[in-house]
Amino acid sequence: MIDCLTNKTYRAGAYVRLSIEDDNKDIESVSITNQRAFIKDYAIKNNIEIYDYYVDDGYSGGNFDRPGFKRLINDIENGIIDCVITKDMSRLGREFIETGNYVFKYFPEHNVRYIAILENYDTLNPNGMEDILPFKAVINDMYIKDISRKIKSVRHDKMKEGLFVGSSVTYGYKRSEEDSRKFVIDDYAANVVKRIFDMKNDGMTDGMIARTLTNEGILPPDVYRGKKLNKITVTTNLWKPSSVKTILTNEAYIGNLIQGKYERVSLKSKKKRLLPRSKWIIKKGAIPKIISKELFEKVNAPKRKTDTRFRQYDYLLKGLVVCGDCGKTMLVRRVKNGTDSSKVHAIYVCRTYATYRNNVCSMHYYREDALNELVIKKIREVLVKYSQNEKLDNTYKSSICNLNLLENYEKDLSIVKSKIVTIDKAISELYKDRATGIISSDEFSGIKKELEKDRKECVAKVTDLEILLGESKNVLTDEKTKMKWINEFLKSKTPEKEVLKILVNRIEVYEDKSIKIFLNFNLNEVENG
């Protein structure tokens, strides 16, 4: 039996990685090339077939969210490879817990032979090194923590010196050609900043300022800087009130460089939290002023309290009503009656139209009381028929739409996961094209960055969809639960808002005042019965 195992020809995945701290080039690094050659030589001498090289160039060993490694695991799951080779265990990973999990649990459970060449570790030929490896994993983990602390310390020292260590330069400035860590004024953008402060000082609201800049064809900050946006929409080139507010409250324009506002919740997490202002690193006078301190304080002065009292209204369908054309949640506005100015009523209006007005969408208005009455009436009629287990009339099918959330979420999740697999394969092929000279170094760098960006977005979307699935699993998935809430709705003359939110997913309002109501569960069994 031992002879059979020894004589077996293994199909190996050669995993090579370069630490992100060492990655100072956009092309495949010399270190990666050396690792390839080292593993190839070992495989030839030991009668191991290299199926493919799985490369993560410029990725930290502190986590396993790496495209090359994920492709390696995918090929193990599909039975394509039965051996993994690395130059040493630190190339596999430096994080103690997960690295140990792969070496001592995952690989053995999947009948995968693992070889760390420099440690002389081979699961096929135990030699006592398996007792030492956990300690090496701990040392590797300590190493990456130490490196992280040193990098953080160096960055903080630079911040305290008034040097910029971020990636995105504040609108109104650009990097100095002499020292990229320092700001100089961008004349065009700085003039826009001055205008924003002047307009605010003249009494204009943030929304009015945003519309004025948009009407004049001035590009918003992200578009002006040439930042690649995740998604281009009809509002991409429009100024938003929030962008105006961000500029009006940014102390950079009076010369204060503020950094270190956020920190990671832990070394192994990418999530960040906002620190209290007392912990921010503020260097006054570190950058050129664009506006005076007096003007900044004036436009940001607390507003005086007036005797006017405002009532907070909690509208029945608020949050459920969306514009049927642009998909944005509709706002509720209170307006005076045209014939009797003493009377006020509420209307739903398209958020996009209310914010921008620049022919992006139309008002799509609907009186709040009329919409409440219509929606409740239509839902009541349909649910009465459902509770009596009768077929739905086509009349209601046109306005009441079935929405099986779980099926939609699962379908979207499957699509996104498939896209991640496709991206991983594309990245792998990209390295091959670079190595064979099919594409240039510049093309390799550009395509690689785009693919990695797309992959990061997909991973985030997978997380969101999995959360939505988890939260929706036990809501309206069985007949008993459905009937409980349907009866709750039917027995009350005016249903509670909470009941409506459980039953209704969204209500779409179109320009011609037609509506569609989407429920949180489907009625296919009634329609087909």
pLDDT for res 411: 78
pLDDT tens-digit profile of 472-527?
A: 555 544 555 666 666 667 666 677 777 777 778 888 989 888 888 887 766 543 33
What the block records as the tokens of 202 is: 């003249």
pLDDT reported for residue 7: 62
Residues 270-288 as b or e (16 or more Cβ within 10 Å = b): eeeeeeeeeeebbbeebbe
Q: Which pTM was predicted?
A: 0.45
Q: Examine the pLDDT at 203 and tell me if it is beyond 70.
A: yes
CB 353 within 8 A of CB 376: no
Alpha-carbon gap, residue 127 to 514, rounded angstroms: 75
Task: Write the pLDDT tens digit of every residue in 411-438.
Answer: 778 888 888 888 888 787 777 777 776 6
pLDDT tens track for 54-112: 999 888 777 788 899 999 999 999 999 999 999 988 888 877 677 878 888 899 999 99
**Residues of 290-308 as b/e, b for ≥16 C-beta within 10 angstroms?**
bbeeebbeebeeeeeeeee
pLDDT in tens, 2-25: 344 456 778 999 999 887 555 444
- Give the pLDDT band (50/70/90) at residue 275: confident
User: Are the CB atoms for 116 and 92 separated by under 8 Å?
Assistant: yes
φ and ψ at residue 16, rounded to 5 degrees: -130, 140
- Residue 315 pLDDT class (50, 70, 90 cuts): confident
Q: What confidence score (pLDDT) does residue 463 get? A: 80
Q: From CA 166, how far away is CA 147, in angstroms rounded?
A: 19
Average pLDDT, the chain: 77
pLDDT at position 291 is 92
pLDDT in tens, 354-409: 777 666 787 778 888 888 888 888 877 777 776 665 444 443 444 455 555 566 67
- Rounded to an integer, the average pLDDT of 199-227 is 85
List pLDDT tens digits, range 108-154. Answer: 999 999 999 988 889 888 765 655 656 665 665 666 566 666 666 77
Rg, the chain, Cα only: 30
Show the domains of the chain with their CATH numbers: 2-154 (3.40.50.1390), 173-299 (3.90.1750), 321-361 (no CATH), 372-527 (no CATH)
Judge contact between 348 and 366, C-beta under 8 A: yes
Choice between 167 and 5, residue whose per-residue pLDDT is larger: 167
